[in-house]
C-alpha cells in the first residue's frame, strides 16, 4: 500500500473551513434529554446506526428514567427494548454495569470527567468525548468515529487510521472552540459524499485538495 499523503497545515485548515461552511447544521443526531440518556444512547450506538438507536430509545427512555432503574434491571428486561441493535446482549450488560457504578460511586449522576467516564463498561475515549461534548458542553478532544477516521485519512488530515492518532492530528489542526463540532461536520460529509466504500468525489466540495489516500474507486 502506498504511503499516505498528509496535507500541509494551511491547506488542511482551508479544507476544514470549507467543510464547516458546507455543513452548518452538523450536530449529534442521537436523541437524548439528559446525560444518562446520552450515555445509554452512546453505548447502544457502537457499530449501529444512529437512526436504529433512536427508534429503540424512544420507548426505552419512557421505562427507564434513572441510573437506579437500569442498575436494578436484568439484561433480559432491557433486551426487550433493544433487541434490534447489534450486540444487544453485551450492550444491555454494559448499560447495567455502568449504571451500577454510577449509583455506587457518583450518587446516580453520570460523571463529567473523561477519566471517570472511560472506566465505565462500554465507554471508550470516543464515547466519552461525545458524552462530554453533548451532555456537559465540554470538549476535551474530538470523537473519532468510523466516518471521521475514513474521511480524515482520505483527505490527508491524518496519515493514520488509528482513532487516537486521527484525534491527535485533528486536535492540532482545529481550533479548540470548534472541537465540539468538527467531528459532526466530518461525519456529515462522510455520510453524504465521502461514503464507504465508494466516495462520490464528483460532488465533493473539497475534492481539489483531497489526497485520496486509500481511494481506488470513486463516483
Ligand atoms: S474528494 Fe472524494 S475521497 Fe476526497 S473527501 Fe471528497 S469524496 Fe472523499
Please tell me whether residues 39 and 131 are part of one structural domain.
yes
Residues having CB closer than 6 A to ligand 1 are: 151, 154-155, 193-194, 199-201, 204, 206-207, 210, 212, 215, 218
Please tell me whether residues 75 and 156 are part of one structural domain.
no
Q: What angle do CA 15, 51, 37 make, to 5 degrees?
A: 95
Please tell me whether residues 41 and 55 are part of one structural domain.
yes
Q: Can you tell me whether residue 217 is helix, strand or coil?
A: coil
Does 130 reside within a domain? yes
Domain coverage including residue 92: 35-136
- Which CATH number does the domain housing residue 161 bear? 1.10.1670.10
- Pocket probe for ligand 1: among 190, 212, 216, the residue whose CB has the most ligand atoms within 8 Å is 212
Does 218 reside within a domain? no
Please tell me whether residues 81 and 117 are part of one structural domain.
yes
Q: How many domains does the chain have?
A: 2
**pLDDT at residue 1 in the model:** 66
- Which CATH number does the domain housing residue 98 bear? 1.10.340.30
DSSP state of 4: P
Please tell me whether residues 112 and 45 are part of one structural domain.
yes
- Residues 40-55: b if buried by 16+ CB within 10 A, e if exposed: bbbbbbbebebeebbe
pLDDT by position in tens, the chain (length 219) = 679 999 999 999 999 999 999 999 999 999 999 999 999 999 999 989 999 999 999 999 999 999 999 999 999 999 999 998 999 999 999 999 999 999 999 999 999 999 999 999 999 999 999 999 999 999 999 999 999 999 999 999 999 999 999 999 999 999 999 999 999 999 999 999 999 999 999 999 999 999 999 999 999
Amino acid at each position: 500500500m502506498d504511503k499516505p499523503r498528509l496535507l500541509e497545515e494551511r491547506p488542511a485548515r482551508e479544507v476544514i473551513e470549507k467543510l464547516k461552511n458546507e455543513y452548518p447544521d452538523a450536530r449529534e443526531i442521537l436523541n437524548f434529554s439528559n446525560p444518562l440518556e446520552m450515555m445509554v444512547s452512546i453505548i447502544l450506538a457502537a457499530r449501529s446506526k444512529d437512526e436504529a438507536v433512536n427508534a429503540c430509545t424512544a420507548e426505552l427512555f419512557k421505562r427507564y428514567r434513572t441510573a437506579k432503574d437500569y442498575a436494578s434491571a436484568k439484561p433480559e428486561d432491557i433486551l426487550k427494548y433493544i433487541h434490534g441493535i447489534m450486540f444487544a446482549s453485551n450492550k444491555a450488560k454494559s448499560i447495567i454495569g455502568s449504571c451500577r457504578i454510577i449509583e455506587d460511586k457518583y450518587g446516580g449522576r453520570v460523571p463529567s470527567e473523561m477519566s471517570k467516564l472511560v472506566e465505565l463498561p462500554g465507554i471508550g475515549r470516543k464515547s466519552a468525548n461525545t458524552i462530554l461534548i453533548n451532555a456537559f458542553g465540554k470538549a476535551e478532544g474530538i470523537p473519532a468515529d468510523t466516518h471521521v477516521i475514513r474521511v480524515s485519512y482520505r483527505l490527508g488530515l491524518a496519515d493514520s487510521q488509528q482513532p487516537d492518532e486521527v484525534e491527535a492530528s485533528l486536535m492540532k489542526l482545529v481550533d479548540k472552540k470548534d472541537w465540539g463540532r468538527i467531528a459532526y461536520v466530518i461525519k456529515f460529509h462522510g455520510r453524504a459524499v465521502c461514503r464507504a466504500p465508494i466516495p462520490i468525489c464528483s460532488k465533493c466540495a473539497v475534492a481539489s485538495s483531497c489526497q485520496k489516500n486509500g481511494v481506488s474507486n470513486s463516483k
